[in-house]
Amino acid sequence: MARSGKISAFGRLARFVAAAALCALVAPHAVVPAAAQQVPSFSRECQPGNTATATESPLPNVAAALQRKKGKITILAIGAASTAGMGNVRGGYQAQLQRMLKAAAKGLEVEIVNRGVSGELAEQAAQRLKIQVGLTAPDLVLWQVGTNDALSYIEVERVETAVRETVRWLKEHKVDVVLVGLQYVSGMARDSHYQAIRVALRRIAQEENVIIVRRYEAMELIEKAQRAEPGSAVDEFANSETAYNCMAQYVARAISVTLFGRGLRPPQPAPPQ
Amino acid sequence: MPRQANAVDFWRGFALVTIFINHIPGIFYERLTHRNFSISDSADLFVFLAGWSLRLLAANPGRASPAYLVVRLGGRALTIYIAQIMIIAVAIAMLAAAAVLLQNPLLLEWHNAAAVFHDPVPAHLGLAILTHHLGYFDILPLYVVLMAMAPGIALVDRYAPRLLLPLSLAVYFAALGFHITLPSWPVPGEWFFNPFAWQLVFVLGFVMARADGAGGYVRRRIVWLRIASVPVVIAGALIIWNDWWPDPTKVPQPVLLFIQSKSYATPMRLIQFLALMALFSALYPGIRRAAPWLTEFLSMLGRNSLNVFCVGSLLSLAGQIVRFIYKGGIVVDTAVVAAGIALLALTAWLSEWRDREKSRRLAASPAS
């Protein structure tokens, strides 16, 4: 716990700096009144993932769309992420994401177009993604990518090329993108291919300056927090489901921190299970 | 007695084998299937030939009464529905078993199965009403809808044959122009195979199987059509190899008429498919002479296409799980494909053996 506390403090500082910089960048474009903005906090079970779920990068096209379309944004969700949080009492991924983003900025209108096709590899998803951009003209693409490629042991270079090329294509077409990375499963922690894909996605996000929601770190923290509890058993299946349900919150937070990067709440310690 | 090897069964068998391989993403042998040089793939072939076979089903036996036709084709839709329900039940169990045995919850999220495990109440309803599909288990739901349309198609064909293709084209262009499709639920989204678009592929197969009408027209001009098809197929290959796809944000409205989309069987894909068919159909006599065992083998698979398709779908998933366990590689891939094709053949052989036994027993005891 002490260790995750340190990460929290560091994460908070880093995020504050990033957010302050982004505020200056994004705020002048946003039409949403500053007083109404609030970065959503996590629900109890998702809190351990608070510290390291996202890297912040600007979302210039969403910011511009907010101004141009009077507070309305269209989000295209590609990949299995669109199924996440189904069983959650908060009404599923789409509803959750919408509600959290709306809560983050009053008057914000969020349209989410879900076009998840399961099982498809990054290369096929990339093709379909472009078609959907042509059909739905989104301001932001939420792309969960990598898991199927990892499970199918697709060469890392192939995955990296497909994702990077698509991220660049989206930028050229004035569409922002948020990548949702791999998730943490202890069985895959020592799988070099899985880790290579995870690293490749982070590298793309960093080099192309786009947001990546780091599900892996979030889940790793959830599990670490549990292991730190004396006498607690780690149920990986339950954790996986929890983290799955938390995805909407992580994504919503990543977006709202970037867009309205104010009102960051200090991460609270995880409650005992 | 099973019917003689023929071109339709042969290409159906070919489609079944390539679907089995293509549904194991990342496997080495997927580089060898025709989608590497063709915009259309084995799914188009499968649906087209399903339409072709509908002709046989609708024409046989003779001029059945309309009521019988509706019941017979409707019954076929029900059979396919049952097959779909059975294979997804087994597929879900396979994912669950793999997740438990390998202690890896990641496998529960594979192929859209997450909703089934994490939110079973609506997901089970979605499975039953065919609005929740597992990845790569989405062709049979299309087939169910197409067979549900089949009585209508067969009746229009009987009483107003000239109307069939225009009607089908009208539905197709309406679907593409106005973006009409079936929704998926509870996971929001769309069907991967839009039935309103894909019905045209099905109807084209049905129409082309007819010796007169459009089918007869094509047969009479097949040589010219094949010559015209060569540049189309070459252009398709060049588009794939050079990544010359049209930019979906830069084409005119309606977008779907000008881009490549498998979900909507867009014109670009459909035209390439028809050209490929025109050329492929010329190959059969040569293949039959050069490799009679191959035509016999693939025709046997094609004659038992529903059974082979169901087993093939499950074998594809099994192949993916095996590849996951052994981390892929050419040796594993070869073993998966070899074992898979052998089991597909066993499925077809058993189906025919059972039928042979049944007719032999019936012949032996005519009184019972």
**Would the pLDDT of A107 be above 60?**
yes
SS3 B343: helix
pLDDT value, residue A42: 67
* First-to-final CA distance of chain B: 21
What is the number of CB-based contacts under 8 A between chain A and chain B? 135
A148 closest CB neighbour out of B25, B189, B192: B25
Best of B29, B94, B104, B109 to mutate (most A CBs within 10 Å, chain A): B109
Per-residue tokens: A169: 């294509």
Orientation of helix B213-220 relative to helix B222-242, angle to 10°: 90
B187/A contact by beta carbon, under 8 A:
yes
Domain ranges of chain A: 2-259
Q: Which tens digits make up the pLDDT trace of B115-141?
A: 898 888 888 999 999 999 998 999 999
Asked whether the beta carbons of B259 and B246 are under 8 A apart, the reply is yes
A123/B contact by beta carbon, under 8 A:
no
Q: Is residue B365 part of a domain?
A: no
**Residue B232 and residue B37: Cα distance in Å, rounded?**
12
CATH pick for A2-259 out of 3.40.190.10, 3.40.50.1980, 3.40.50.1110, 3.30.379.10: 3.40.50.1110
Q: Is residue B280 part of a domain?
A: yes
Q: Is residue B300 part of a domain?
A: yes
Query: Which residues of chain B from 24 to 63 reach within 8 Å of chain A, CB to CB?
Result: 24-26
**Residue B74 and residue B56: Cα distance in Å, rounded?**
15
The tally of domains found in chain B comes to 1
CA distances to B73, B163, B205, B207 from B214, in Å: 23, 12, 11, 6
Residues of B in contact with A137 (CB under 8 A): 249
Nearest Cα of chain B lies from the Cα of A209 at a distance, in angstroms, of 23
Closest-CA residue to A50 (of A238, A225, A272): A225
**Residue A250 and residue A55: Cα distance in Å, rounded?**
11
Per-residue tokens: A91: 């009404």
Q: Which tens digits make up the pLDDT trace of B228-238?
A: 999 999 999 99
Residues of A in contact with B118 (CB under 8 A): 86-87, 241, 244-245
Q: Could A118 and B135 be called an inter-chain contact, meaning their C-beta atoms sit closer than 8 Å?
A: yes
Under the banding of pLDDT at 50, 70 and 90, the label for residue A5 is very low
Residue of B nearest to A113 (CA): B189
A42-56, A107-121, A210-224: range with lowest mean pLDDT: A42-56
Q: Could A240 and B105 be called an inter-chain contact, meaning their C-beta atoms sit closer than 8 Å?
A: yes
Q: Is residue B366 part of a domain?
A: no
Per-residue tokens: A86: 């189904």
Q: Could A173 and B249 be called an inter-chain contact, meaning their C-beta atoms sit closer than 8 Å?
A: yes
**Residue A216 and residue B143: Cα distance in Å, rounded?**
39
Q: Is residue B69 part of a domain?
A: yes
Q: Could B105 and A237 be called an inter-chain contact, meaning their C-beta atoms sit closer than 8 Å?
A: yes
pLDDT value, residue B23: 95
Q: Is residue B367 part of a domain?
A: no
The count of other CB atoms within 10 Å of the CB of residue A100 is 22
Best of A86, A139, A235 to mutate (most B CBs within 10 Å, chain B): A86
**Residue A203 and residue A23: Cα distance in Å, rounded?**
24
Under the banding of pLDDT at 50, 70 and 90, the label for residue A40 is low
Q: Could A118 and B259 be called an inter-chain contact, meaning their C-beta atoms sit closer than 8 Å?
A: no
* First-to-final CA distance of chain A: 14
What phi, psi does B156 have (nearest 5°)? -60, -40
Q: Is B364 exposed, middle or buried (0-12, 13-18, 19+ CB in 10 A)?
A: exposed
Q: Is residue B49 part of a domain?
A: yes
Name residues whose C-beta falls within 8 Å of residue A214's C-beta, 6 or more positions apart in sequence.
A52, A53, A54, A55, A181, A202
Query: Which of A231 and B286 is assigned the larger pLDDT?
Result: B286
Q: What is the DSSP letter of B184?
A: E
Instruction: Please identify every stretch of chain B with a pLDDT value under 50, giving residue numbers as ranges.
Output: 368
Q: Which domain holds residue B145?
A: 7-360
